[in-house]
Homo-oligomer: A and B are copies of this chain.
Amino acid sequence: MSRLDELMTLLRFPSISAQRAHDGDVADCADWLVDKLSGMGFDARSHGTARHPIVVAKSPEVPGKPRVLIYGHYDVQPVDPIELWESDPFEPVVRDGRIYARGASDDKSELFAHILGVESLLQEGGGTLPVNVTFLLEGEEEVGSASLIDFLGKNRELLACDVIVVSDTGMAAPDVPTFSYGLRGVACGELIVNGPAMDLHSGVFGGAVANPITVLAEMLATCHDAEGRVSIDGFYDGVEPPADWERVMWSRVPGMDDVSLAALTGVKALRTEAGYTGAECIYARPTFELNGIFGGYEGEGSKTVIPTKAVAKISCRLVPGQDPKRILQLVKAHFEKVAPKGVEIRFVNQHGGEAYVCDPHSRYGKAAQQALEEAFGNKPVLVREGGSIPVIAEMSKQLGVDALLLGLCLPDARIHSPNENMRLDLWEKAIEMSASLLRRLGESE
């Protein structure tokens, strides 16, 4: 079976972790990966969890060589809206050099590139690898990685390693290999302003009672100053501005200058924290964002009601130095401080995760950049991702090592959306990149 046929087989599993009806498909996909890795000589096992299996596969021991933990996730997002797909999300097809399927970028092709990279090294080395490899492949990344976080705490010895390798982030552009040495953390919550016991007629009662939407808007308006900074006491405690070398480096990342970012997002101009470029704000500054707001009437025309409540969905992106639990406490304390008297508010904590940053100039970081350059033929750009993958910060902390993020998702890969895809030429290069990386990590000891 060709490499592409094997990838297609992997992509055919409808391993949607969020949907109970697909629990069997998720388990089948794990079993297929165990078979594949066993066939390569790995000691591979599917570990049962409260939800979806975790695949751990270890290469035959090569004494004295570093141990590399390659992380990936074989679960995928739901496919809705299905009517916008040009072909069946679980029947991969190749069009114009891209393979289209759910999971084509996020994360099956990426994790499978590493498996194939290892396979090519095994052939090259006559069954011996230049490093010790542990694959850690989970089936719950799209639903929060709860089982893996539990598993990490209980299996530190099994997963012990010198460095983690992950391909589950973005590539700046097709010819721009990207090394991410950081991720923002996240802290989510919900603010609810409760008003009258029932929706009131805004004529019959308007002017006499606090309107929850007005109160909510007024409270939310206190969260930023005129310069775009977050006005919550203590929010920036421990936050360092990006280093000068980072600012210089980021100013050269293709597509990340302010004009390009405005064009990409379809706004007339960026609106950033005073003193920082768009890229700097995304990579290295914390945010307080409103992801949703609702209350009262949303239909056509008007309905003159004072609603019983109004709600805002809030998420903060965090940088090193910020603890998600503490940030949620600060946000809550701020709302309690600014809430008008006589109004009942409630702040509900949702999930959170710490930021992650490693030194891109470490021995392993340099090896990763060399591997990217070898495979893609260009010097990689060094960025911090604006997004969050809390499980990576957690793995790095629990195992006490760096995670190297070698992103392969193109900006137009449509991950989480209809017509998710992967450029096959880049995927082939990713296989080479994985082999190069392990070779260099083996040398670097």
Q: Name the distance in Å between A111's Cβ and chain B's nearest Cβ.
A: 21
The reply to whether A186 and B205 form a contact with Cβ atoms under 8 Å apart is: no
The reply to whether B293 and A305 form a contact with Cβ atoms under 8 Å apart is: no
The reply to whether A344 and B214 form a contact with Cβ atoms under 8 Å apart is: no
> Which segment, of A19-27, A159-167, A266-274, faces chain B?
A266-274
Q: Tell whether A362 is near chain B: CB-to-CB under 8 Å.
A: no
Q: Which residue from chain B places its CB closest to the CB of A299 in the assembled complex?
A: B292
- Tell which of B184, B205, B313 touches A203, judged by Cβ atoms closer than 8 Å: B184
The reply to whether A291 and B302 form a contact with Cβ atoms under 8 Å apart is: yes
> Which segment, of A191-199, A327-335, A393-401, faces chain B?
A191-199
- Tell which of B170, B195, B267, B296 touches A313, judged by Cβ atoms closer than 8 Å: B296
Complex Cα–Cα for A388 and B218 (A):
27
Q: Give every chain B residue within 8 A of A351 (Cβ-Cβ).
A: 301-302
Q: Give every chain B residue within 8 A of A202 (Cβ-Cβ).
A: 287, 289, 291, 315, 317
Q: Give every chain B residue within 8 A of A261 (Cβ-Cβ).
A: 205, 208-209
The reply to whether B269 and A342 form a contact with Cβ atoms under 8 Å apart is: yes
- Tell which of B207, B293, B387 touches A217, judged by Cβ atoms closer than 8 Å: B293
Q: Tell whether A350 is near chain B: CB-to-CB under 8 Å.
A: yes
> Which segment, of A70-78, A150-158, A277-285, faces chain B?
A277-285
The reply to whether B289 and A304 form a contact with Cβ atoms under 8 Å apart is: yes
Complex Cα–Cα for A105 and B297 (A):
25
The reply to whether A266 and B217 form a contact with Cβ atoms under 8 Å apart is: no
A208-B278, A304-B315 known; A213 and B293 CB under 8 Å?
yes
Q: Tell whether A248 is near chain B: CB-to-CB under 8 Å.
A: no
Interface residues of A in 90-146 (CB under 8 A from B): none
- Tell which of B207, B265, B289, B310 touches A317, judged by Cβ atoms closer than 8 Å: B207
Q: Name the distance in Å between A53's Cβ and chain B's nearest Cβ.
A: 24
A214-B290, A312-B213, A342-B269 known; A304 and B208 CB under 8 Å?
no
Interface size class of A (residues with CB under 8 A): 35 or more
The reply to whether A306 and B282 form a contact with Cβ atoms under 8 Å apart is: no
The reply to whether B270 and A209 form a contact with Cβ atoms under 8 Å apart is: yes
Q: Give every chain B residue within 8 A of A241 (Cβ-Cβ).
A: none
The reply to whether A305 and B285 form a contact with Cβ atoms under 8 Å apart is: no
Q: Tell whether A340 is near chain B: CB-to-CB under 8 Å.
A: yes
Q: Name the distance in Å between A191's Cβ and chain B's nearest Cβ.
A: 11
Q: Give every chain B residue within 8 A of A273 (Cβ-Cβ).
A: 207
Complex Cα–Cα for A222 and B272 (A):
22
The reply to whether A385 and B197 form a contact with Cβ atoms under 8 Å apart is: no
CB 8 Å contact bits of A342-381 with B (1 = contact, 0 = none): 1110000011000000000000000000000000000000
Q: Tell whether A7 is near chain B: CB-to-CB under 8 Å.
A: no
Q: Tell whether A36 is near chain B: CB-to-CB under 8 Å.
A: no
Q: Tell whether A204 is near chain B: CB-to-CB under 8 Å.
A: yes
Residue ranges of A at the interface with B (Cβ–Cβ < 8 Å) = 170, 184, 186, 188, 190, 195-198, 200-211, 213-214, 216-218, 220-224, 258, 261-262, 265-273, 276, 278-279, 281-282, 285-287, 289-298, 301-307, 310-313, 315, 317, 340-344, 350-351, 385-388
**A-B pairs with beta carbons under 8 Å apart, 18 shown:** A184-B203, A186-B304, A205-B282, A206-B317, A207-B276, A207-B317, A208-B271, A209-B265, A209-B271, A209-B278, A213-B291, A214-B224, A216-B293, A221-B222, A271-B340, A289-B306, A290-B296, A292-B303
